[in-house]
Structure 1
Amino acid sequence: MKKHSDNNKKGKAKSPVKNAKSKPQRDKAIHNDAEEDHGDDDGHDHGIAGPEQAGWRAHLGLLVGLFILICVLVADYGFGIKLSKWVSLAVNGVAYLLAGWNVLVLAFRKAIRGDIFNEFVLMSVATLGAFYIGEYSEGVAVMVFYSIGEWFQDSAVDRATASIKALLDIRPDEVTVIRDGKTLVVPSAKVELEETIQVKAGEKVALDGELISDKGSFNTAALTGESRPDSKYKGEAVLAGMINLNTVSEIKVTALFKDSKLSKILEMVQDASSRKSQTQLFISKFAKVYTPIVFFLALALALVPYFFVADYVFNQWLYRALVFLVISCPCALVVSIPLGYFGGIGLASKNGILFKGGNFLDVMTKIDTIVMDKTGTLTKGVFKVQKVVPVGLTEKQLVKLAAILEKNSTHPVGQAIIEFAGKDADSGKATAVEEISGHGLIGKVNGKDVLAGNLKLLKKYKVDYPKEIEEIVDTMVVIAVDKKYAGYITIADEIKEDAAEAIKQMHELNIKTVMFSGDKQAVVDYVAKKLGIDNAFGDLLPEGKVEKVEALIKEGRHIAFVGDGVNDAPVIALADAGIAMGGLGSDAAIETADIVIQNDQILKIVSALRIGKLTRNIVWQNIILAMTVKVAVLSLGAFGVANLWEAVIADVGVAFLAILNAIRIQKKTI
Structure 2
Amino acid sequence: MNHWIEQAITLLVIACPCALVISTPVAIYAAIGNASARGVIIKGGKFLELLAKVKAICLDKTRTITFGNPVVSDVYPLNGTSREELLACAAGAEVFSEHPLAQAIVDAARNEGYEIHKTEKFESIIGKGAIAKCLVCEDETILIGKLQFIRESQPVTDEVEQIVKTLSEQGKTSVVVSFGEGVAGIIGLMDEIKPDSNQAIQEINSMGIKPIMLTGDSALSANYVAKIVNIDEIYGGLLPEDKAARIKESISKYESVAMVGDGINDAPALAQSTVGIAMGAAGSDTAIETANIALMNDKLSLIPFLIRLSKATLLRIKINTIGAIAVKVLFIVLAFLGFGNLVMAIAADVGVTLIVILSSLNLMKFE
TM-score (norm 1): 0.52
Aligned to 2:207: 509
In the other structure, the counterpart of 2:320 is: 622
Kept in 1, the 8 Å contact 2:280–2:288? The answer is no
Could you tell me which runs of 5 or more consecutive residues in structure 1 were left unpaired when the two chains were aligned. 1-313
Aligned AA for 1:469? I
The answer to whether residue 44 in structure 2 is matched with residue 357 in structure 1 is yes
Q: Which has the higher contact order (CA 8 A, sep 6+)?
A: 2
Partner of 1:30: none
Hey, what's the Cα distance between the residues in 1 that align with 2:308 and 2:329?
32
Question: What residue number does 2:13 align with?
Answer: 326
Whether the 8 Å CA contact 1:512–1:534 is kept in 2: the answer is no
Contact 2:91 2:116 survives alignment (8 Å): no
Q: How many pairs does the alignment contain? A: 356
Superimposed CA distance per residue, residues 575-624 of structure 1 (whole angstroms, 9 cap, x where no aligned partner): 11111113376544442221111112100111111111121111111101
Deviations 1:261-288 (A, max 9, x none): xxxxxxxxxxxxxxxxxxxxxxxxxxxx
Q: 2-side partners of 1:322 and 1:665: how far apart?
A: 35
User: CA offsets, 1:458-488, max 9 Å, x none?
Assistant: 2211422223234222211111122311121
Q: Distance in 1 between matches of 2:115 and 2:31?
A: 50
SS at match of 1:379: coil
The within-5 A match list for 1:424-503 is 427-445=116-134, 446=136, 447-466=139-158, 467-472=161-166, 473=168, 474-503=172-201
- CA gap 1:321/1:589 in 2 versus in 1, 3 angstroms: same
Q: Partner of 1:402: helix, strand, or coil?
A: helix
- The Cα offsets for residues 182-227 of structure 1, whole Å up to 9 and x where unpaired, read as xxxxxxxxxxxxxxxxxxxxxxxxxxxxxxxxxxxxxxxxxxxxxx
Contact 1:463–1:480 (Cα < 8 Å) also in 2: no
Matched, 1:523 2:221: yes
Residues 222-301 of structure 1 correspond to what in structure 2 (within 5 A)? none
CA displacement 1:317-349 (0-9 Å, x = unmatched): 322211111111101111232111111111111
**Counterpart Cα distance in 2 of 1:354 and 1:394:** 48
Distance 1:448 1:586, change over 3 A: closer
Q: Is the 8 A contact 1:370 1:559 kept in 2?
A: yes
Q: Is the 8 A contact 2:18 2:353 kept in 1?
A: yes
5 Å-filtered alignment, 1:488-637, equals 488-564=186-262, 566-583=264-281, 586-637=284-335
SS in 1 for 2:52: helix
Find the counterpart in structure 2 of residue 389 from structure 1.
76
Shift of 1:660: 1.3
Instruction: Report the Cα distance in structure 2 between the residues aligned to 1:331 and 1:489, rounded to whole angstroms.
Output: 65
Write the distance in 2 (CA, Å) between the matches of 1:577 and 1:645.
47
Structure 1: how far apart are the matches of 2:39 and 2:165? 40
Query: What is the alpha-carbon distance in structure 2 between the residues aligned to residue 529 and residue 584 of structure 1?
Result: 24
Identity %: 39
CA RMSD of the aligned region, Å? Answer: 1.7
Deviation at 1:375, TM superposition (A): 0.3
Q: Which residue of 2 is the match for residue 260 of structure 1?
A: none
Contact 2:60/2:214 (<8 A) preserved: yes
Deviation (angstroms), 1:658: 1.2
- Structure 1 pair 496/584, CA: closer, same or farther in 2 (3 Å)? closer
Q: 1:649 deviation in Å?
A: 1.9
Three-state SS of the structure 2 residue aligned to 1:441 is strand
Which one is further off, 415-424 or 394-403?
Answer: 415-424
Say yes or no: does 1:398 pair with 2:86. Answer: yes
Q: CA deviation at 1:641?
A: 1.6
Q: Which amino acid aligns with 2:150?
A: L
Aligned-pair CA distance for 1:565? 5.1
Match among 409, 414, 420 for residue 102 of structure 2: 414
Structure 2 vs 1, CA of residues 485 and 587 (structure 1 numbering), >3 Å: closer, same or farther? closer
Residues 41-89 of structure 1: CA deviation (Å, up to 9, x unaligned): xxxxxxxxxxxxxxxxxxxxxxxxxxxxxxxxxxxxxxxxxxxxxxxxx
Is 1:317–2:21 an aligned residue pair?
Answer: no
Deviation at 1:425, TM superposition (A): 6.3
SS of match in other structure, 2:67: coil
Which residue in 2 is equivalent to 1:366?
53
8 Å contact from structure 2 (residues 266, 287) kept in 1: no
Does the 8 A contact of 1:418 with 1:425 survive in 2?
no
Q: Which structure has the bigger radius of gyration?
A: 1
Unaligned runs of 5+ in 2: none
Q: Retained in 1: the 8 A contact 2:63–2:282? A: no
Secondary structure in 2 matching 1:479: strand
Q: CA deviation at 1:667?
A: 2.5
Query: Whole-Å Cα distance in 1 between the matches of residues 40 and 17 of structure 2?
Result: 32
**Alignment partner of 1:667 is 2:356:** no
- Please state how far the C-alpha of 1:434 moved relative to its aligned partner: 2.0
Distance 1:576 1:478, change over 3 A: same
